[in-house]
A and B are shown apart, each in its own frame.
Chain A
Amino acid sequence: APTAAEENVLRWSSQAAIANLDPHGTTGALPLSILGNVYEPLVGRDKDMQLVPVLAESWEVVTPTTWRFKLREGVTFHNGNPFTADDVIFSLERVGNKYSFLRDRVSMIKEMNKIDDLTIEFVTNKPYPILPQTWTSIYMMDKEWAEKNDATVPSNSVENIESFAGQVSNGTGPFTVVERVAETRTVFEPFKDYWDTVGHNLDKVVYLPITQDGTRVAALLSGEIDMMFPVPLQDIERLKSNADTDVLIQPELRTIMLGMDQRREDALQTEPEGNPFKDKRVRQAIYQAIDINGIQEKIMNGLSEPAATLISPLLFAPAGDMQRYPFDPEASRKLLAEAGFPDGFKTALVCPNNRYVNDERICQAVTSMLARVGIEIELRTMNVSQYWKVVGRPVQEFAIYMMGWTPGGLDSYSVLFNLMGSWDEDSGRGRINNGDFANERIDEIVAAVESETDQAKRDALIQEAYQIVHDEVYYLPLHQQAVVWGVRNGIEVMQRPDDYFQYKSARIAR
């Protein structure tokens, strides 16, 4: 065995500790991404976000409501058990547990039929064209192991159950967890019997969470860690100018936007009385008063992609062809005057202050830009745990609010259904349409897209919906932020737009 000095140890850091190793016990993007090195889904994504087979070799739609998945052969769990259809059924049932917070992801399943050990059929309640996309972070567990260790249900705080799987892992992934000290570190080692060939040359990976941005940057600078993300935008220069470190940058998938209250008769904290946001001219005036390039240059250090609509062109290529309304305070003032506000009006904006990259600063900049066309804004920012409560249904305490959205399954449908459709309590359509605008045509498109399997037709419908939102200025899209990783020289990692760090693609150059 190599001695400690020769070992290739990769120490890296990000914001949050892995609270729990149970792959079905968390919904956080970071823990799920880290666990992705230990556990694997049936279907994954490559670095361009394209679907790739992982534990499923292939899948097909048998009928609009029936999917057949063919499982990979020769896959074993870390404990040596073979991976079979039973494990899939077990895992999906486990995810569907009453207390699971991921239950949404499998609630469309009506039944699961094991055809043979490596084939399985899923029947959905209604056509569900994005089934594989939805499951990219549903990880497979070993049924036998779980049953033996009494880990058949994920941990939950209602029945005070702590799952065994929360502390010990047994996946099929390329790495195993060998040591864990709460809040301090998690140590991974390669899994020798991994089914796939791997390109990495690591002997050990140590994950060291560091919450504070400054400390994390310092740790990279001082050489205590080899790689970390996210890098605060203002520290990019510092890492670049340091001889031993560098940064990797990629656009992210999330789109940041502003929404407005278009439901209340009297918008909150708005003077004069009434709801100016019901008037499209006002919405457009606000749109055109925002200097997105200024924000990009001064607040995002040039690292943002101004967005013309609610989805990244990486996820929906036609979005790249759409154009923003130009920044034009003159036009904006004129529109306001036409709408009956020649002297502007007073209103309020709520923003999170620890959710998106430089969220608070963006809102301050917007506040100042709007002030220049006469819209006086009362800005309130808060921590995200407060934020969702204030902004989300049913409280919706805002006049203008900020929000960022990465579509679930990376498909436009999620945007259409959640953000653009009008609120429908039964189906949950328009759930995140917090501003509560309603457009019949969009609702029709949502319904059509849901079961449209012809890709071209579907894309056309989606584009039409985006166009309506643009024309009616229902939202004020801002930009896609960037993913920035800091690395020490000599470390090669594959950066992905979804911030997933796959150990199997990392190399340490000697």
Chain B
Amino acid sequence: MIRYVSGRLAQSILVMFLVAAVAFSLFGFVGDPIRQMITEDASQAEIERLRDVMGLNDPISIQFWRYISGAVQGDFGVSYFHKRPVGTLIAERMPATVELAGLSVLLSVLIGIPLGVYTGLNRFGRVARGLMAVSLIGISIPTFLIGIMLIYLFSVILGWLPSFGRGDTVSILGGSWSTGFLTISGLKSLILPSITLALFQTTMVMRLVRAEMLDVMRTDYIKFARARGLGKRAINFRHALKNTLMPVVTVIGLQLGNVIAFAIITESVFQWPGMGRLFLQAIQQVDIPVMSAYLIMIAFFFVIINLITDLAYYAIDPRLRSNTLKGTANA
């Protein structure tokens, strides 16, 4: 177990290195950072001078090496655009994104799973079919459209909820984390963006659970559980749901990662001061230090999430823990 986890973490270093390498090799395609930083009427000579000064004229491999040797020492550089250390920039924006992503994934799980169970059990029910159709709205309307429409309805017309931003935040954990969960305006501000973000995932979770439920409910052990007179709840949730969880856990893990990493559209629409916006800005500004550090961090993130998902598999399914088949697959 410990060896497995540490082995995976060791592999993650390779992953992060590869991500950094790929990222660096594609910065050439993103644009020219100097032009993003300098005034439009700057002279060519000045541009060239700055290129030189910033080392952008060096071969990519040298730039990469320079970056990696800094990164290994925990120094991810200073953003071209923000002129601040990248670590600080990310740390400032992390709470906003994590809270939004966490809440929306939580919402999607809390709503998606029961709905999935329900629609799976009542396959031909009218309500279930209605839910199935309605759930598609969440994925067939683009996020930005949903966001704008929610804003229009709840902020402009009804005036109930703020249309942008995080509201008031409170610093906790010795100031290292700013949370919107502790103020009224912070909570109000979370509502629209988290709904917008959760829609797609709720649909996904719901449909996956339903699909798997349909299979599981036909198995002999469910039939036997019913024959033993077990209660509906025990059967649906203890026996059936648990057996549907593998793909659901997988997808939730990936979605959580995706939402944290690239919730760009939602964050833009609601002016959410999170990492997605930071990254989008970095792409637009060709802010190489931010992009690299960000991607490396995201890689690490996914490594962790996937590790947790894999561990969850083993927690969920004891058959995976047995090693009878190891090495015999090619016998």
Contact = CB atoms under 8 A, between A and B. Distances in A.
A–B contact (CB under 8 angstroms): yes
Interface of A: 19-20, 22, 25-27, 98-99, 101-104, 107, 154-158, 160-163, 166-167, 181-185, 208-212, 214-215, 218-219, 221-224, 383-386, 388-389, 392-393, 405-408, 414, 418, 425, 428, 431-432
A215 B85 contact: no
Nearest to A219: B163
Given A212-B268, A431-B44, A162 B93 contact: no
Contact of B271 (A209, A223, A383, A406): A209
A163 B83 contact: yes
B317 interface: no
Given A157-B83, A218-B152, A431 B43 contact: yes
B45 to A, nearest CB: 5
Given A27-B38, A210-B164, A428 B43 contact: yes
A160 B84 contact: no
A406 B277 CA distance: 29
A388 B77 contact: no
B39 A102 contact: yes
A388 B37 CA distance: 12
B43 A210 contact: no
Contact of B75 (A19, A104, A160): A160
Given A181-B273, A212-B268, 9 more contacts: A99-B53, A157-B77, A157-B80, A158-B53, A162-B83, A182-B273, A223-B159, A392-B32, A406-B40
Contacts of A384: 284
Given A157-B54, A221-B156, A19 B81 contact: yes
A166 B55 contact: no
B15 interface: no
Nearest to B85: A162
30 contacts: A19-B82, A19-B83, A27-B37, A102-B39, A104-B46, A155-B84, A157-B80, A158-B55, A160-B70, A160-B75, A166-B84, A182-B92, A183-B93, A183-B278, A208-B164, A210-B164, A211-B268, A212-B271, A214-B269, A215-B151, A218-B164, A219-B163, A221-B156, A224-B163, A388-B32, A389-B31, A393-B44, A414-B41, A418-B41, A428-B44
Contacts of A222: 155-156, 159, 163
Contacts of A161: 78
A149 to B, nearest CB: 15
A407 B41 contact: yes
A454 to B, nearest CB: 25
B89 interface: yes
A392 B155 CA distance: 43
B138 interface: no
B84 A219 contact: no
A221 B154 CA distance: 12
Contacts of A215: 147-148, 151, 163-164, 269-271
A182 B93 CA distance: 8
